Structure 1
Amino acid sequence: MKIKTTTVLALLAAETASPASATDVFTLEGFGAISRGLGGAAVSLDVGPAGIMSNPATLSLSTDNLDPDSDSQLLIGLDIIAPNIDAYNDATGVKAASHTHSRNRGPYFAPELAYIRRSGKFTFGIGAFALGGLGTEYGKSSFLSSGLSGAPAGLDNSSRMLALDIPAAASVKVTDRLTIGGSIDAVWIGLNLGLQLQADQVGSLIGSGRVSGSLVPVLGGIPGLDAAHFGLTRNNYLLNGVDGWGLGGRVGFTYKLTPSTMIGGAYNFKTDVADLEGPATLTAVSTIAGQIPLTGRIRVRDFQMPARLSVGVTQRFGPQLLITAEYQRAFWKDAMKNINVGFEADAAGDINVLLPQNYRNQDIVAVGGAYEMGPMTFRVGARFASQATPGATLLAVVPTIPRYHASAGMTYKLGKRQAIDFAYSHAFKEKVSNDGLPNTSQPLSVTHSQNNLSIGYRLSF
């Protein structure tokens, strides 16, 4: 009955999640307030049920934070994420601020829900977490909504992506020193997108062989073509323009080198999510004929979350103090080479577009420390990452650029079996510029900083 109840709660969280603006490109910088307070480190220490998302092998560790004699533990939590994103036309100095222009975006709320149960040497768990996402809303009147002529088109430029992960995990305590674990995950990705390309961007994509289909000569033959706009957005807190389901998973281990030194590692597999599909409108904007909308179906092909390798070490200095450090390698180069879009018009005809992204693999280092004092545990952390987003392929609606974080957190025990966890992390402002076709018509810079708050309640029983 407990497992059935938790499954229902996980699915409910999946349905009510709002998107998170991610900070390691599309992925969050940690799962659960304990990990978040430590800069996102999690593979070599017990971070409670949220460890199901980082290293399932940690679920077999003896819980120091709550009653170690309990067989079950429940986590209910929430991430609140407030990004600050601005795009600049570097030729004119005009700014397009990404604010809440509609129900499409921010601030974002991401669920944290997990249940684990121990049975002898084995621990089983299920959960529902926002794996990551992004979000922008520049509205309909910024310079991003103007055609090549400078005339306003009045069409929105925005994005909202949420990746939701529902893991089912198992771990085993092989010896007093070694634990191993793994998970199989149901992964859902939903996407809203409003993207306007000026006429010279369309011409650049066609000239480089990145556009194909029967609608290409039709689009190229429109007199006074000024811009083309893809609209696949539902102006709703929950619904998305396109979405798809698939699979993911991870494996991991922990090993106690000494009574006070623990190492751990995990490998997250690249997701295998079906193409994201749904209704859309392709609008050609002409200085002569005005706006020419075509309704149809759109497919965003092979949009995946990347594989990730994590290794870490945690050192305890007595029962109160610990220091942890972790290295991660996120394989974005394989996952995000292009945004591959295919559109089929209701009135016949199709067009296929490859928007270049060419992300780099990302190296990440997370460090953190914790000090326990009575019923409270205080944490601090920092996170440093290389830049995965090349400036030459930057899109204003996909500003996945923060690299540096500082975090702090605490746990307050409510007796032996309950605890409340808090964490705050700040992503420092990062700036990336793009001065060439095809992903921008004018010299473009985007800045992005944000504040994240994670709150969790844990119950052992």
Structure 2
Amino acid sequence: MKAMFDRGAKAFAVLGLCLLSTPAFSTNGYFANGYGGKSKGMAGAGVAVPTGVLGMAQNPATGVKVGNAAGFCLTTFAPDRTVRVAPGGPLTPGTHKSENDVFLIPCGGANWALDERSSLGVFVFANGGMNTEYKTNFFSGLGAGSAPLGVNLEQAFVTVNYARKVSDRLTFGVSPILAVQRFKATGLEAFSGLSLAPGKVTNQGHDWSTGLGFNLGLLYEASPQWTIGAAYRSRIQMSSLSKYSGLFAGGGDFDVPAMLTLGAAYTPAYQPKLTITGEFQRIHYGDVNAIANTSAPPQGPLGASNGVGFGWKDVDVLRLAAIYRRSERLTLRSGISYSTEFTNNREAVINTIAPATPQWHASFGGSYKINDRWGFTFAYTHAFSNSITGVNTALTGVAQPVRLRMRQHEIATGLSYSW
């Protein structure tokens, strides 16, 4: 049975990774800031307002409102990631810029109304942001290090979505999720001596991992003016990345953290063309040892349950967005989001291989209804530059400052078809 599951999972993985062939998005940590062009035009909001087929990744209960529809989107993502190393230690000084700074990311799915009160959908979405490639291995001064230096994490989620309107005001949604990820690391030879399994730290090619989880959602229409939304995506227990059992805590464990989102939308009676929505979201990075374990002393060897990690903590995201229905054909959107810091200064050195530093995002976009069936969506998101500076004498032996910085540009376009 396990072999059959693994083969089936890898078949879905091929589908998911063909649709989502690059692991980079405008991110909170490495979770995407919204799914689909409508949500991205509102800085990731969408738990209390329907945002199309891909919006069901945020709240499965919106499926009934989506109705009979299919959507396809293409995102152009341009991250700018640099690491600046000060002189005075074993790390190579200078400014090091990550390659791979433009990505094209397709996505899509469909939803069907089963009757007036229920719907069924299927779609693929993703997380990303942990993708780096530095031509200079600035860790080589610690003893060894091939080039390039970097990591590549790809996570695709194949989802079936069922939504049911259980009363005139309350809709419930549930999505079983098949998660597939693959990972590789290069140039981390300097850390092999710190590992329980020195031969499984770096340069092992891509390794695959699979897991199952679920997403639950509620949509409550409290009044003609107010709508309340809530969604919970479970932690996904992934199979181990055995080729990197000497890198990640717990012998290669790299689970997908849980996420909780709460939101409300308000449409003033005096201005029915306008909707304001706000959200609170918590991403539970702190529950996954490979992500949350500290890299500062005291810590165990790489690969152990208490082994070195990235030092990430839970991230809270706040969003405020607006929808303005300019006409029957044109809808405009905008939004801002803020996320709390994912780590602290003492973890800066280890996070050079995955500098997910942005905290503020600003977005705008719109949708245009071409005719009764076809529509077009556009969104632009800017993740403002943010940096972290710190030292880690446990890894480098001296207090050598390292500064990591990231900013992002993202353009999302999409076509939708309804029937």
TM-score bracket relative to the smaller structure: 0.7 to 0.9
For the residues of structure 1 that align with 2:132 and 2:251, how far apart are their CA atoms?
18
Q: Which has the higher strand share?
A: 1
For the residues of structure 2 that align with 1:109 and 1:339, how far apart are their CA atoms?
33
Counterpart position of 1:212: 196
Q: Tell me the alpha carbon deviations over residues 41-100 of structure 1, each in whole angstroms, 9 at most, x when there is no partner.
A: 111011111122100001122x5xxxxxxx521011122211100001123661111124
Give the conservation status (yes or no) of the 8 Å contact 2:26–2:383: no
Counterpart position of 2:114: 119
Counterpart position of 2:6: none
Residue 231 of structure 2 is aligned to residue 266 of structure 1? yes
Paired residue total:
386
For the residues of structure 1 that align with 2:405 and 2:108, how far apart are their CA atoms?
32
Counterpart position of 2:408: 450
Give the conservation status (yes or no) of the 8 Å contact 1:39–1:381: yes
SS at 1:232 equivalent: coil
SS at 1:272 equivalent: coil
Residue 292 of structure 2 is aligned to residue 337 of structure 1? yes
Counterpart position of 2:258: 307
Counterpart position of 2:215: 250
Give the conservation status (yes or no) of the 8 Å contact 1:136–1:160: yes
Q: Tell me the alpha carbon deviations over residues 394-427 of structure 1, each in whole angstroms, 9 at most, x when there is no partner.
A: 3211112211100011101111211111111011
For the residues of structure 1 that align with 2:318 and 2:244, how far apart are their CA atoms?
40
Give 1:33-182 correspondences, 5 Å limit: 33-61=37-65, 63=66, 72-91=68-87, 94-100=94-100, 106-120=101-115, 121-139=117-135, 141-142=136-137, 144-148=138-142, 153-182=145-174
Q: Which has the higher helix share?
A: 2
1:337 aligned partner, one-letter code: A
Structure 1 residues 281 and 251, CA, compared in 2 at 3 Å: closer, same or farther? closer
**Structure 1 gap ranges (5+):** 1-7, 64-70, 101-105, 206-210, 220-227, 234-240, 283-297, 341-350
**Structure 2 gap ranges (5+):** 1-10, 296-301
Give the conservation status (yes or no) of the 8 Å contact 1:249–1:269: yes
Counterpart position of 2:4: none
Give 1:274-423 correspondences, 5 Å limit: 274-278=239-243, 301-317=252-268, 318-335=271-288, 336-338=291-293, 352=303, 354-374=307-327, 375-394=329-348, 395=350, 396-423=352-379
Which stretch shifts more, 330-339 or 115-124?
330-339
Q: Tell me the alpha carbon deviations over residues 192-221 of structure 1, each in whole angstroms, 9 at most, x when there is no partner.
A: 2114354xx677x4xxxxx335x6xxx9xx
Give 1:230-249 correspondences, 5 Å limit: 230-233=202-205, 241-249=206-214
**Larger of the two Rg values belongs to structure:** 1
Structure 1 residues 90 and 181, CA, compared in 2 at 3 Å: closer, same or farther? same
- 1:148 to partner: Cα distance: 3.4
2:256 aligned partner, one-letter code: M
For the residues of structure 1 that align with 2:231 and 2:158, how far apart are their CA atoms?
17
SS at 1:15 equivalent: helix
Counterpart position of 1:68: none
Give the conservation status (yes or no) of the 8 Å contact 2:216–2:231: yes
For the residues of structure 2 that align with 1:31 and 1:432, how far apart are their CA atoms?
27
Counterpart position of 1:426: 382
For the residues of structure 2 that align with 1:459 and 1:41, how far apart are their CA atoms?
22
The CA RMSD measured in Å over matched residues stands at: 2.9
Q: Tell me the alpha carbon deviations over residues 303-359 of structure 1, each in whole angstroms, 9 at most, x when there is no partner.
A: 02211111100111333111110000111100222499xxxxxxxxxx846323231
2:344 aligned partner, one-letter code: P
For the residues of structure 1 that align with 2:15 and 2:347, how far apart are their CA atoms?
37
Indicate the percent of aligned positions where both proteins have the same amino acid: 25
Structure 1 residues 43 and 361, CA, compared in 2 at 3 Å: closer, same or farther? same
For the residues of structure 2 that align with 1:443 and 1:90, how far apart are their CA atoms?
6
Structure 1 residues 280 and 308, CA, compared in 2 at 3 Å: closer, same or farther? closer
- 1:22 to partner: Cα distance: 5.0
Give the conservation status (yes or no) of the 8 Å contact 2:74–2:105: yes
Give the conservation status (yes or no) of the 8 Å contact 2:182–2:209: yes
For the residues of structure 2 that align with 1:278 and 1:412, how far apart are their CA atoms?
47
For the residues of structure 2 that align with 1:37 and 1:401, how far apart are their CA atoms?
21
For the residues of structure 2 that align with 1:276 and 1:131, how far apart are their CA atoms?
17
